[in-house]
Amino acid sequence: MQEQWILKSTEPISENELKNALPGIFEQKKKELAIFLSLYTKADGAIAENIKLLSWEAAPSIDKGSCLLGFDKVYYNACLNIHETDQDKIKIDYEFNSAANKIILTGPYIPEREPDDI
């Protein structure tokens, strides 16, 4: 499984402005990032909250690179009276498309488990 998510910016951003704009875009799109990261945490029975940009590194061209996101992995089950939080982080690749004014996020590849033999 490898998930992709597209973040569209409301204001035009040039490639030169991306370095300064990326943290602000992630802050504005926190809810969308939480949904995207929850696709990776759902196997553990958790959701992602409080996403923070920890670091990012650009490839030789500024429009591609990767970033490290930190987040709270929240487990909640009312029946079992569970509400726990763990800190986690994940490396995400990004590609900036200046013509369409969007950032394409690609999560890590996690192989899916094969069905059990009977």
This prediction's pTM: 0.79
pLDDT for the residue 78 = 65
Contact 65, 58 (CB under 8 A): yes
Q: Are the C-beta atoms of residues 81 and 102 closer than 8 Å to each other? A: no
Predicted confidence pLDDT, tens digits, the chain (118 residues) = 788 888 887 777 776 777 777 788 888 888 999 999 988 888 888 889 899 888 877 666 777 888 899 999 988 776 766 777 888 999 999 888 877 888 899 988 888 777 877 7
Amino acid in position 43: A
**Whole-number pLDDT of residue 59:** 67
pLDDT (0 to 100) of residue 1: 76
The pLDDT of residue 101: 81
Q: Pick from 3, 25, 7: which is nearest to 97 by CA?
A: 7
